[in-house]
Amino acid sequence: MFEELTGHEDPHPIYEQVRALGPLVEVGGQWVTTSHAVSNKVLRDRRFGMRFTDGTYPGFAGLLPQSFLELDPPDHTRLRRLAMPAFSPKKIDEYRTRVEKVAESLLDPENSNAGEFDLMTDFAAPLPIAVISDLLGVPDSDTAEFADYGALVARSFDTGVTGEMRHANDKVLALFERLIAERRARPGDDVISSLVAAEAERKLTAQELMGTLVLLLVAGFETTVNLIGNGARALLDHPAQWALFKAHPELASDVVEETLRWAPPVQLTGRIAQEQVDDIRTDEMVNIIIGAANRDPEVYPEPHRFDVMRVQKPEHLAFSSGIHYCLGATLARMEGEVAFRALARRMPELRQNGPVIFRSSVTIRGLASFPVSRS
């Protein structure tokens, strides 16, 4: 069924066809759920994990270093705890001023095309790349290839590993190897330095250190790039909502939450049964359609309507749920708020100026190109 969901189509008509079959159904030999309640339950249930019972992981064929994203407790708990301090609410607040300066700079007519530009390549991508690079301690001169790398990783979720992906992966691993060596010699105040120190104390292995850095790099901007792009497009496609937000910029956090519900960057995830759970047998996977769960009519009235004044109860599942709840959720939310406020303040006459191009991915829902005009 997932083959029908290309990045160039609205997936929700197909999601609704699946929803009509029931809250948890077998489709083509796979378990699938569109239900918010079932999705949340599976994501929180410790009887479901990221790996098969033989320890193998259904993704990337060993290309990327192992990270806590695909691990179950206790290793997941240990590695996640080491990365958590960099993403604490207090730490994220310290980054807000930096993010605001970057956003303002990117939207300054002197630093970009005066009238027309691509919102994705000229704003939505550079902003989170600058932030996660700063947080990790990656020099500005090394960040140019990160956007392409993130897009290739996202595409690999659907297409598998390509030669292009392997080449990009080798370059990023080489970059991190150099930076790790530098931090061993001259520690700084950044995530790489703190993880290098943890490795020296034998709290994680060299492979786990590399896997954690690659995960933080990709997750640190991949979700946010598409949050900004999807939110900006939703606002421009709903003029009344755009006007409301421009008049009330304090609604920025509401714009972020409704965007995450209505057009979540990550559309699909899965969990593997570690034992028999009702009709689900050991090692069978449950495919969770986050994009459908976030528009569950049993949870959200008029679920297909984009409404920044919507009361978000219960919380959407854009950042997952349970022990794998997105570590960078606070950072992504803050960056989204800053980005939307900056657009509303600096470009109140912003409008779409050509057809958008969707990314060719089922798992990641976002735009490759979004031509806009300042007036």
Confidence (pLDDT) at 28: 79
For residue 349, the tally of other CB atoms under 10 A from its CB is: 8
Mean pLDDT computed over every residue of the chain: 88
Q: What is the pLDDT of residues 218-273, one digit of tens each?
A: 777 778 999 999 999 999 999 999 999 999 999 999 999 999 999 999 999 999 99
DSSP class per residue in 219-241: HHHHHHHHHHHHHHHHHHH-HHH
Confidence (pLDDT) at 175: 86
Confidence (pLDDT) at 64: 62
- What is the mean predicted confidence (pLDDT) over 209-222? 82
Q: What is the pTM of this model?
A: 0.91
Is residue 217 within 8 A of residue 140, CB to CB? The reply is no
Q: Characterize the bridge pairing of strands 24-27 and 30-33.
A: antiparallel
Percent of the chain with pLDDT over 90: 55
Ramachandran sector of residue 354 (left: φ over 0; alpha: ψ -120 to 50; beta: rest): left
Residue with the bigger pLDDT between 375 and 280: it is 280
Q: pLDDT grade, residue 132 (50/70/90)?
A: confident
- What is the mean predicted confidence (pLDDT) over 263-285? 95
Q: What is the pLDDT of residues 36-83, one digit of tens each?
A: 999 999 999 999 998 899 988 776 545 566 777 777 888 888 988 888
Residue with the bigger pLDDT between 164 and 83: it is 83
CATH number at residue 239: 1.10.630.10
How many Cα atoms are found within 13 Å in the side-chain-facing hemisphere of 367?
Answer: 25
- What is the mean predicted confidence (pLDDT) over 30-36? 96
Residues 6+ apart with CB under 8 A from 3: none
Confidence (pLDDT) at 159: 61
Tell me how far apart the alpha carbons of residues 20 and 346 are, in angstroms, rounded to a whole number: 44
- What is the mean predicted confidence (pLDDT) over 293-302? 96
- CA nearest 334: which of 198, 239, 227, 213? 227
Residues 6+ apart with CB under 8 A from 310: 254, 258, 261, 300
- Domain residues for the domain of 37 are 2-373
Percent of the chain with pLDDT over 70: 90
Q: Bridge-partner residues for 277, per DSSP?
A: 280
- What is the mean predicted confidence (pLDDT) over 28-38? 93
- What is the mean predicted confidence (pLDDT) over 327-332? 90
Confidence (pLDDT) at 61: 47
Q: pLDDT grade, residue 318 (50/70/90)?
A: very high
Q: What is the pLDDT of residues 136-157, one digit of tens each?
A: 888 877 777 666 676 666 666 6
Total structural domains within the chain: 1
- What is the mean predicted confidence (pLDDT) over 106-114? 72
| Locus of tokens 């050509």 | 354
